[in-house]
Amino acid sequence: MKIREIYELAIARGMENDPRGLEAVQKYLSAKKKKYEELKEEEKQEYDTDRLVNPYDDTRVLVGDPEREVRRALVGIDMEVGEVLLADRLGEKGRPVDLIISHHPEGKAMAALYQVMHLQEDVLARFGVPINVAEGIMASRIGEVKRGLLPLNHNRAVDAARILGLALMSVHTAADNLVATFLQKIMDEKKPETLGDVLKLLKEQPEYKEAVKYNAGPTIVVGSKERRAGRIMVDMTGGTSGSEDAYAKLSQAGVGTLLVMHMGEKHRKEAEKNHINVIIAGHMASDSLGMNLFLDELESRGVEIIPCAGLLRFNRKA
């Protein structure tokens, strides 16, 4: 596969599994195109035209020729300077790496992470929070994340890859959509009665079963195994953690349990205050599951995957 084809496949699978629905995402892209056409010429020169076909600002080819053929990819959750050097070292040892794939964004994909958080507004609306309330709740949080990203040194890994002549891309929300849809479907179909039942279902997936061995498996942080789960909301996409104000609204909307990748203490306390159970499925395990659903397709098309940097690799098509 060419790098361009891998990138296009990531976008396509992300859109197909987007919690907003494919039609809504296509409508979003149409609005972007219309807005672009109305820009002045100097504004168009500054515009990232990938936004016209890709709704995920944190999923990008960051360096490398898009037409380059990829036979072997080094893939991990966090691919930073050390992992770029690892890719170069593998080449020296006779295993040349054609593409580095990072789950967590680097470079301009990291700088624009806040853009994808608008997806969370639609996720909240899907679970019963009025869209005007969801947008209001998220506005200040999105601004907070945007300001927090400003001082970061985004391009370290990208610069290292460029100097060494290596290609690097990030696949973030596109992969997170896959795990969110995958787990939500399981919860909706199996309808686990208790939080303990939710844990059992999670551990049927190899990523979570493996994470237990590393003391990083699924954990209940609000509630107990005996507590009834009620309506389960899988919250694993949309850039990063949302607003603390969401939990009161979700409780009112009838959500009983949140199944998440990770959660800060302030968010956890707000969920507890509003009597919402919380299960942290595990960050690396959840990210691995989303990436694996994507990587399975790459392997089936002849791309060799070398997992590293926290990626728990399991192939469901093997």
The tens digit of pLDDT for each residue in 213-270 reads 999 999 999 999 999 999 999 999 888 888 899 999 999 999 999 999 999 999 999 9
pTM value is 0.95
**DSSP annotation string for the chain:** -BHHHHHHHHHHHHHHT-TT-HHHHHHHHHHHHHHHHTS-HHHHHHS-GGGGT-S-TT-EEEES-TT-B-SEEEEESS--HHHHHHHHHHHHTT---SEEEESS--HHHHHTGGGGGGHHHHHHHHTT--HHHHHHHHHHHHHHHHHHHTTS-TTHHHHHHHHTT--EEE--HHHHHHHHHHHHHHHHHH--SBHHHHHHHHTTSHHHHHHHHTT-S-EEEES-TTSB--EEEEE--SSS---TTHHHHHHHTTEEEEEES---HHHHHHHHHTT-EEEE--HHHHHHHHHHHHHHHHHHTT-EEEEETT-----S--
Average pLDDT score over residue span 285-298: 98
Average pLDDT score over residue span 77-89: 98
Average pLDDT, the chain: 96
pLDDT per position as a tens digit, 16-58: 999 999 999 999 999 999 999 999 999 999 999 999 999 999 9
Q: What percent of the chain has pLDDT over 90?
A: 97
pLDDT computed for residue 240 by the predictor: 85
- Is 90 exceeded by the pLDDT of residue 187? yes
| Domains recognised in the chain with CATH numbers | 3-175+286-308 (no CATH), 179-283 (3.40.1390)
Average pLDDT score over residue span 135-148: 94
Average pLDDT score over residue span 162-178: 98
